[in-house]
Amino acid sequence: MSFDSSRSANSGSKSKRSFNSISSNPSTNTNNGNNNNTNKKKKTTQKTLGVAWGSNSRSSSLFSFRNSPFSDFGSYMAVKNQKLQEQFDAEALSSSNSGSTSGKPIFQGVSIFVDGFTVPPSQELQSYMLRHGGRLENYFSRHRVTHIICSNLPDSKIKNLRSFSGGLPVVKPAWVLDSVAANKLLSWLPYQLDQIASEAHNQPKLSAFFALKNSPVSNDTVTCMNGQIKSETEHPSLEGGTINEAHLSGGSMEHSRPCSGEWDDGVHGNSTGTVIEEPTCNDGKYSEGKTAEPSIHRSSAGIEDQASPCRPSASVSSHNTKRSISSAIVGPSKPQHSTLVDPNFVENYFKSSRLHFIGTWRSRYRKRFPSFKYTGPDVKVSSLRTSVIHVDMVADQFYNILHKHCSKVQVVSCDEAFLDVIESEVEDSQLLASVIRKERFEATGCTASAGISTNLLMARLATRAAKPDGQCYIPPEKVDYYLHELPIKALPGIGHVLEEKLKVRQIQTCGQLRMISKESLQKDFGIRTGDMLWKYSRGIDDRLVGLVQECKSVGAEVNWGVRFNDLKDCQHFLMNLCKEVSLRLQGCMVQGRCFTLKIKKRRNDAEPVKYMGCGDCENLSHSITVPMATDDVELIQRITTQLFGSFHIDVKDIRGMGLQVSKLESVDPAKQGHERNSIRSWLASASASTKEHSKIGFPAKESASRVAINEGKGPFWLDPACVNESPVEDKEENCPVEKNQGEPTSEAGPSNSVFFTSVPNKIDLMPSSLSQVDISVLHQLPKELRVDIFEVFPAHRRPECTSDAALGPTSKSEESPCLKCPEKRPGSMNSVSRNELWLEIHQSSKGRLSSILQCTLSESELHSDASNDGWDDAIGCLCDLLRQYIRLQIETDIEEIYVCFRLLRRFTTKSKFFFQVYNVVFPHLQLSLLAYCPEERRSPPCFT
């Protein structure tokens, strides 16, 4: 199979009926060209309507909506309904013309309104209506609707339905399915919903989707009743099959796609040429579902608590347990439409937000494959070898299939993944793609498209050509040809803004883009973006199939229904937003250090056209980096309050707010070693390690693996090797040095440090004789520390000044202090005995700070060439901080920290290391400051 050029030029997008167009905006069909012109005029800041923190692909239609004549909700809805009806008609006509998907018009004259969560979802029902001559109304109308479809509803809502529906039939969706199966319109009477009304409690919401997806499902359709998942077996399956899990996902958005399993935004050509397999869409036919059992953990409270996939289960923390119990007792408040009328607006909002759902696929994937990592070596992608398969496919159970066939899977969205098969045992990547697609279809009844090529870029483009339900192979020799006429917009990473900028430069195809030099592109678009454009236009993509699972930020934002009358309203909202973010952090098992508060401020008193929308807004953001990672809701609330104060904004102008947390660290103990920046855990680890080994000195290698200092870019591992080189000789009877029980002495010798101890209450642990000193270690110590060591020696055992030279090449006599006359040491800052400091450390910290000191030594040795630049500044910061501590009279931990820094100041001459320790200790101060200081006494924290 080879690439067929006839498909390469086919890059237009078929008009599609996406969920976007159905529910969000009446201006979906806005001409893109117009939008581009619009964007050209406004290109500085995000000025489009309804776009959250930066424009995106919807901004074009939103902009048109802003300029629409609708100024009230009534006209808005009228036009929206009209638009939706037109869409439906157009699609029905299209189906009818194609002939491929139309069936007997058994629903002629039937117009259904789907209320609430249904199984199958409304989109499925809509497709049946579409095929069989019926209609689906997106909004209820007494005049148009003939049947109301519900799966289950609370009694009260059914009564409401009955009252406003004027006696219209309220029936279960099985009526539709069975009619389709019977190929005739069945009586709706046996399907009346009131037969199950008494059972219908706790109608699943969008949130229930997550609970369902997190647990196996039964063969039958399930519905949530009384907080339990109950099998719903009343309706016969369609065409003898059962409704599979895809239906369950139908309460959601993109998971409720039609059976084709794809958004048809790609090429819809025939299946000749590049598509090596014919489409195999199995419209209306469902395969066997997955066998499973209901989860015993599934309770109504649990389901409610799963509103966000990032949120923790009830078992995550007591906080959440209380929350769930509370939800179970009180129940969710009725969702309202603005912050002014719903005290639980934040929580309720996310249960109803489709964009929220779309935006959380990453979290769902991470939860599904929480620990997937590569083990094999990275291999540079060869431009001459077919190595990458890009698969475009709906439900996440398909991830299992991918992982089964390939060890290198990179999920790039809820329905896309790359497979690096260059090292796979499968020789024929096209065959593998076929197998995966086949398994996919057999497992779910849904199709997938696949692209195979030399790299990620070309594989993705191949998938584009393969849609729908096909696969395409672009061999290396065809890359240039394929790209030559390809519109630049087809390249991933080029959105409407970049497209417009390039169009201004008369660049519309990749071939034209190739005419521009890399330097010019980088000058105009930045180094990386310019490089990307240059490479992509040539089919070059150096990226490796890799992981995307590492969570880098967690956040929540609401830009709809946000209205405040006064500061109290705003504070209430913010506090709830903090709760939401805190829960999401806990749900993701991470804590964060950088908190960014984003505010949408209405521009020039602009009023949104869209009901309760944010309208034309200026986007503002401020961030704070706190020293220690946290997910604590109270701390986050304090931080957020602090942040909010920095905006100096009239709350009446606020149209949206978001809180994002970055600089994340895992709370998973298994991952902590690489990431934790917590002095508490660090010290605890060091302490535990010390206790475990009952040793003095540096941690053993295995214990050192749990001790890390965050160096900013990566962890710094304490390396005890430096103390393992020379055995201690002539160990005296009272010597405090003990053997490192965790290290085999035969290989490395006694891994002892002669100076420091972590054993509490032993303050007299300094060596009493030079014989206790590991000379090799001593040589590597900072000069001043060496002096200190010698100072504790009994006078008669102190080395003479003249003997100092004998200590090694690093102790040149002209540089070394006179060991008998420490007050004459060059660079001596004061006369305080370092031994006194040393003792002070032991007394105040019970030995924990000696761990820090060990780091000092180790790191000083490793960075002996580091400059002293920045030392004074660091000390200055430290002093400011300490002053603040003292002023606030915070006693907790001050002493040990202060002592630590005093010690560091004297012992550490290497600024690089100082900053590392500073980064560890400073967070401790900051957190203590926030945690212990009464709010009324707090001055603005001096965050880093």
Partner DNA sequence: ATCCTCCCCTAC
Partner DNA sequence: TAAGGTAGGGGAGGAT
DSSP bridge pairs for 656: 600
CB of residue 617 to DNA, shortest distance in Å = 8
Q: How far is the CB of 358 from DNA (least distance, A)?
A: 4
Interface with DNA (CB under 7 A), residue from 6, 37, 73, 382: 73
Residues 6+ apart with CB under 8 A from 167: none
Spatial CA neighbour of 252 closest among 399, 398, 395: 395
Closest to DNA by CB, 4 or 342: 342
Query: Nearest Cα to 555, choosing from 663, 678, 655?
Result: 663
Nearest approach, Cβ of residue 925 and DNA (Å): 17
For DNA, the closer CB: 200 or 412: 412
Largest CA distance in the chain: 110
- How far is 621 from 598, CA to CA, in rounded Å? 4
Do the beta carbons of residue 612 and residue 338 sit within 8 Å?
yes
Residues 29-58 that bind DNA (CB under 7 A): 43-46, 49-58
Judge whether 805 and 811 are in contact, CB under 8 Å: yes
Q: Which residue's CB is nearer to DNA, number 121 or number 530?
A: 530
Minimum CB distance to DNA smaller for 142 or for 824: 142
Cβ neighbours, 10 Å, residue 670 = 8
User: By CB under 7 A, which span of 101-109, 347-355, 429-437, 479-487 interacts with DNA?
Assistant: 347-355
Q: Binding residue for DNA (CB under 7 A) from 608, 627, 750, 817?
A: 608
Q: Indicate the residue among 207 and 237 with the shorter CB distance to DNA.
A: 207
In the complex with DNA, the residue whose CB is nearer, 340 or 620, is 620
Structure tokens at 276: 């090596």
- Within residues 401-430, the interface with DNA by CB under 7 A covers 412-416
Instruction: Provide φ and ψ at 418, rounded to 5°.
Output: -105, 140
**Residues between 856 and 875 with contacts to DNA, criterion CB under 7 A:** 870, 873
Min separation Cβ 623 and DNA, Å: 3
Strands 449-453 and 471-473, bridge-based pairing: parallel
Cα–Cα distance between 672 and 701 in angstroms, integer? 17
- CB-hemisphere CA count at 13 Å for 898? 16
Stretch in the footprint of DNA (CB under 7 A) among 102-110, 495-503, 505-513, 665-673: 495-503
DSSP 724: S
Q: Does 350 bind DNA (CB under 7 A)?
A: yes
**Minimal distance, residue 904 CB to DNA, in Å:** 18
**Minimum CB distance to DNA, residue 620 (Å):** 5
Which three-class secondary structure string do you get for 731-790?
Answer: CCCCCCCCCCCCCCHHHHCCCCCCCCCCCCCCCCCCCCCHHHCCHHHHHHCCHHHHHHHH
Q: Would you give the binding string for DNA spanning residues 731-770, x where CB under 7 A is met?
A: ----------------------------------------
x/- binding map, residues 576-595, to DNA, per CB under 7 A?
Answer: --------x---------x-
Nearer to DNA, 335 or 727 (CB): 335
| C-alpha atoms less than 13 angstroms from C-alpha of 509 in its C-beta half-sphere | 13
The interface region with DNA, picked from 288-296, 436-444, 555-563, 851-859 by CB under 7 A, is 555-563
As measured in angstroms, the least distance from the Cβ of 292 to DNA is 26
Nearer to DNA, 413 or 694 (CB): 413
CB under 7 A: which stretch of 240-248, 346-354, 473-481, 784-792 binds DNA? 346-354
Per-residue contact string for residues 250-289; x = within reach of DNA by CB under 7 A? ----x-----------------------------------
- Residue 370 lies near DNA (rule: CB under 7 A): no
Residue nearer to DNA on the CB measure, 274 or 559: 559
**Closer by beta carbon to DNA, 364 or else 848:** 364
Q: Cα–Cα distance between 287 and 241 in angstroms, integer?
A: 6
Give min distance, CB of 712 to DNA, in A: 6
Q: Which of 529, 571, 687, 745 binds DNA (CB under 7 A)?
A: 529
* Residue 552 is a binding residue for DNA (CB under 7 A): yes
Catalytic residue among 416, 485, 711, 791: 416
Fill in the amino acid letter for 574. Answer: L
Residue among 486, 396, 479, 383 nearest 444 (CA): 396
Residue in 255, 298, 356, 367 binding DNA, rule: CB under 7 A: 356
Q: Which residue lies nearer to DNA by CB, 657 or 718?
A: 657
Using rule CB under 7 A, residue 386 touches DNA: no
Give the interface segment with DNA, choosing from 172-180, 497-505, 694-702, 801-809 (CB under 7 A): 497-505
Task: Find the shortest distance in angstroms from Cβ 520 to DNA.
Answer: 13
**How many Å apart are CA 915 and CA 929, to the nearest integer?**
20
Question: By CB under 7 A, what part of segment 638-657 binds DNA?
Answer: 656
To the nearest whole angstrom, how small is the minimum distance from the Cβ of residue 527 to DNA? 4
Positions in 122-151 near DNA (CB under 7 A): 139-140
C-alpha torsion angle, residues 29, 32, 33, 39 (rounded to 10) = 120
Measure Cα distances from 656 to 603, 638, 767 in Å: 12, 20, 64
- Annotated active-site residue 416? The verdict is yes
Question: Given candidates 122, 596, 640, 752, which one binds DNA under the rule CB under 7 A?
Answer: 596
Shortest reach from residue 43's CB to DNA, in Å = 5
Q: Which DSSP state fits 158?
A: H
The answer to the question of residue 658 lying near DNA (CB under 7 A) is yes
- Find the binding residues for DNA in span 13-32 (CB under 7 A): 23-24
- How far is the CA of 188 from the CAs of 129, 222, 542, 582, 609, in angstroms? 15, 21, 59, 47, 41
Minimal distance, residue 564 CB to DNA, in Å:
15
Q: Who's near 548: CB < 8 A, 6+ residues apart?
A: 362, 410, 411, 412
Closest CA to 585 of 660, 499, 670, 478: 660
What is the secondary structure of 111-138 as a DSSP string? EEEE-SS-SS-HHHHHHHHHHTT-EEES
Nearest alpha carbon to residue 707 among 750, 677, 742, 744: 677
Question: Under a CB-based contact definition with an 8 Å cutoff, are residues 102 and 96 in contact?
Answer: yes
User: Is 714 an interacting residue with respect to DNA (CB under 7 A)?
Assistant: no
Helix (H, G, I), strand (E, B) or coil at 663: strand
Residue closer to DNA, measured from CB, 548 or 763: 548
Residue listed under structure tokens 């005296």: 732
Q: Which of 122, 242, 353, 637 binds DNA (CB under 7 A)?
A: 353
Query: Shortest Cβ distance from residue 37 to DNA (Å)?
Result: 15
Looking at 525, 717, 871, 932, which residue binds DNA (CB under 7 A)? 525
CA distance to 185, 308, 854, per residue, from 587 (Å): 47, 9, 36
Site for DNA in 445-484 (CB under 7 A): none
- In this chain, which of 477, 480, 550, 725 binds DNA, going by CB under 7 A? 550
Contacting residue, 349, 573, 907, 914, with DNA by CB under 7 A: 349
How many residues contact DNA, by CB under 7 A? Answer: 103
Q: Tell me which stretch binds DNA (CB under 7 A): 543-551, 667-675, 883-891, 926-934.
A: 543-551
Phi, psi of 449 (to 5 degrees): -110, 155
- Provide DSSP, 189-248: GGGBGGGGGGG--S---HHHHHHHHTS---SSEEEEETTEEEEE-SSPPGGG----HHHH
Tokens of 851: 């761990």
Q: Which of 256, 619, 703, 858 binds DNA (CB under 7 A)?
A: 619
Nearer to DNA, 257 or 695 (CB): 257
Which amino acids are annotated catalytic? 416
